[in-house]
Amino acid sequence: MAKEVTTVSEEGYSATNEIRDFETTIDANGEEAPDTLETVLAAYGSCYVPALRVGGQQRGADDLGRIEIETSGELNDDDKLESVQFDISVEADVDDDTGEEIIERAFELCKVHDALKESLHADTSFEGNAF
């Protein structure tokens, strides 16, 4: 099985991506749509959400409730991602030790995490009973 995306740019630095029946726009300059690195960070966070839910179920926290991930990416001098930070808040009352176990399991499950170079492994913070 393969994943397929068609990317088209008529001019400039903006591109439209056709993904099955969906369409997204990415603008390298970030003027008309999210830029390329913002979309990488969004994909990473979006992939990490289901990984957290499954990790939680596997580590005794059956329902994390609302999950909010504040994702930030620091850039190096070449404007490339140098590091990623996840600040994770969940609705469920989860103690710190269980939170750490869930975080580690979620990294094992997250497909976007697997696709990134090792130096971009997200540093994390975790807050249970946050809402």
Q: Quick one: 28 and 40 in the same domain?
A: no
Both 62 and 104 in a single domain?
yes
Model pLDDT, residue 119: 81
CATH of the domain at 93: 3.30.300.20
Q: Give pLDDT, residue 123.
A: 85
Is 84:72 a contact under the CB 8 Å cutoff?
A: yes
User: 98: domain range?
Assistant: 36-127
- At 46, list the tokens: 């979006």
**pLDDT at position 117, please?**
84
> Do 65 and 86 reside in the same domain of the chain?
yes
30 and 42 part of one domain: no
Q: What are the pLDDT tens digits along the chain (131 aa)?
A: 898 999 999 999 999 999 999 999 999 999 999 999 999 999 999 999 999 999 999 999 999 999 999 999 999 999 999 999 999 999 999 999 999 999 999 999 999 999 998 888 788 889 889 88
96 CB contacts (<8 Å, ≥6 apart)? Answer: 126, 128
61: helix, coil or strand?
A: coil
- Looking at the fold, whether 95 and 62 belong to one and the same domain comes out as yes
Number of domains in the chain: 2
